[in-house]
Structure 1
Amino acid sequence: MATLFDAAAPRPLADRLRPGRIGEIVGQDHLFGPDGPVTRMVQAKRLASLILWGPPGTGKTTLARLLAEATGMRFAALSAVFSTVADLRKAFAEAAALRDTGRQTLLFVDEIHRFNRAQQDSFLPYVEDGTVTLIGATTENPSFELNGALLSRTQVLVLRRLDEAALGELLIRAEAAEGRPLPVDDEARAVLVGMADGDGRFLLNLADTLYALPEGERLDTVRLGQLLQRRLPLYDKAQEGHYNLISALHKSLRGSDVDAALYWFARMLDGGEDPLYVVRRLIRFAVEDIGMADPRAVEQALAAQRAYETLGSPEGELAIAQAVVYLATAPKSNGVYMAYKTARRLAKETGSLMPPMHILNAPTKLMKQLGYGHGYDYDHDAPDAFSGRDYWPEGMGARVIYEPRPRGFERDIAKRLEYWSKLRAERQAEMRAAARRSRDEEGEA
Structure 2
Amino acid sequence: MSGLFEKDAPRPLADRLRPRTLDEVVGQTHLLGPNGPIGRMVAQRRLASMILWGPPGCGKTTIARLLAEATDLAFEPLSAVFSGVADLRKVFDRARQRRQDGRGTLLFVDEVHRFNKAQQDGFLPYVEDGTVVLIGATTENPSFELNAALLSRCQVMVLHRLDEAALKELLERAEQESGRTLPLNEDARSALLAMADGDGRYLLNLAEELFQVPESAEPLDPRGLTDVIHRRAPVYDKSGEEHYNLISALHKSLRGSDSDAALYWLARMLVGGEDPHYIARRLLRFAIEDVGLAEPQAVTQALAAWQTYERLGSPEGDLALAQLVVFLGTAPKSNAAYLAHKRSLRAAKATGSLMPPKHILNAPTGMMKELGYGKGYAYDHDAPDGFSGQDYFPEDMTRETFYQPVARGFEREIAKRLEYWDKLRRQRSKQEG
- Shorter-chain TM range is over 0.9
* Structure 1 match to 2:138: 138
> Please, which moves more after superposition, 2-11 or 364-373?
2-11
Partner amino acid, structure 1, of 2:401: V
* Structure 1 match to 2:431: 430
Partner amino acid, structure 1, of 2:408: R
* Structure 1 match to 2:117: 117
What percent identity do the matched residue pairs reach?
Answer: 68
**Which aligned pairs between 1:331-410 and structure 2 lie closer than 5 A?**
331-410=332-411
The answer on 1:323 being equivalent to 2:324 is yes
The Cα offsets for residues 209-235 of structure 1, whole Å up to 9 and x where unpaired, read as: 011122212211111011111132111
Partner amino acid, structure 1, of 2:173: R
Q: Which runs of 5+ in 2 are unaligned?
A: none
* Structure 2 match to 1:260: 261
The Cα offsets for residues 103-151 of structure 1, whole Å up to 9 and x where unpaired, read as: 0000000000000000000000000000000000000000000000000
The TM-score, its normalising length taken from structure 1, stands at 0.96
**Which aligned pairs between 1:117-266 and structure 2 lie closer than 5 A?**
117-217=117-217, 218-266=219-267
* CA–CA separation in structure 2 for the residues paired with 1:302 and 1:269: 19
* CA–CA separation in structure 1 for the residues paired with 2:214 and 2:259: 47
* Structure 2 match to 1:31: 31
Contact preservation (8 Å) 1:292, 1:336: yes
* Structure 1 match to 2:418: 417
The Cα offsets for residues 257-300 of structure 1, whole Å up to 9 and x where unpaired, read as: 00000000000011110011001000000010011100100111
RMSD: 0.8
Contact preservation (8 Å) 2:51, 2:135: yes
The TM-score, its normalising length taken from structure 2, stands at 0.99
* Structure 2 match to 1:43: 43
Q: How many residues get paired?
A: 432
Q: Which runs of 5+ in 1 are unaligned?
A: 433-445
Q: 2:284 is paired with a residue of what secondary structure? A: helix
The Cα offsets for residues 395-426 of structure 1, whole Å up to 9 and x where unpaired, read as: 21210110000100000000000000000011
* CA–CA separation in structure 2 for the residues paired with 1:229 and 1:197: 13
* CA–CA separation in structure 2 for the residues paired with 1:397 and 1:26: 65
* CA–CA separation in structure 2 for the residues paired with 1:2 and 1:417: 87
Q: 2:317 is paired with a residue of what secondary structure? A: helix
The Cα offsets for residues 11-62 of structure 1, whole Å up to 9 and x where unpaired, read as: 1110000000000000111012220111100010000001000001000000
* CA–CA separation in structure 2 for the residues paired with 1:319 and 1:211: 44
Q: 2:417 is paired with a residue of what secondary structure? A: helix
> Please, which moves more after superposition, 226-235 or 133-142?
226-235
Partner amino acid, structure 2, of 1:352: S
* Structure 1 match to 2:306: 305
Q: 1:107 is paired with a residue of what secondary structure? A: strand
* CA–CA separation in structure 1 for the residues paired with 2:98 and 2:29: 33
Change (3 A) 1:84 1:230: same
Partner amino acid, structure 1, of 2:11: R
Q: 2:20 is paired with a residue of what secondary structure? A: coil
Q: 2:134 is paired with a residue of what secondary structure? A: strand
* CA–CA separation in structure 2 for the residues paired with 1:220 and 1:329: 38
* CA–CA separation in structure 2 for the residues paired with 1:416 and 1:354: 28
Alpha-carbon shift at residue 187 of structure 1 (Å) = 1.1
* CA–CA separation in structure 2 for the residues paired with 1:34 and 1:88: 33
Alpha-carbon shift at residue 2 of structure 1 (Å) = 5.6
Contact preservation (8 Å) 1:183, 1:216: no
The answer on 1:13 being equivalent to 2:13 is yes
Partner amino acid, structure 2, of 1:254: R
Contact preservation (8 Å) 2:354, 2:396: no
> Please, which moves more after superposition, 113-122 or 216-225?
216-225
The Cα offsets for residues 417-440 of structure 1, whole Å up to 9 and x where unpaired, read as: 0000000011111112xxxxxxxx
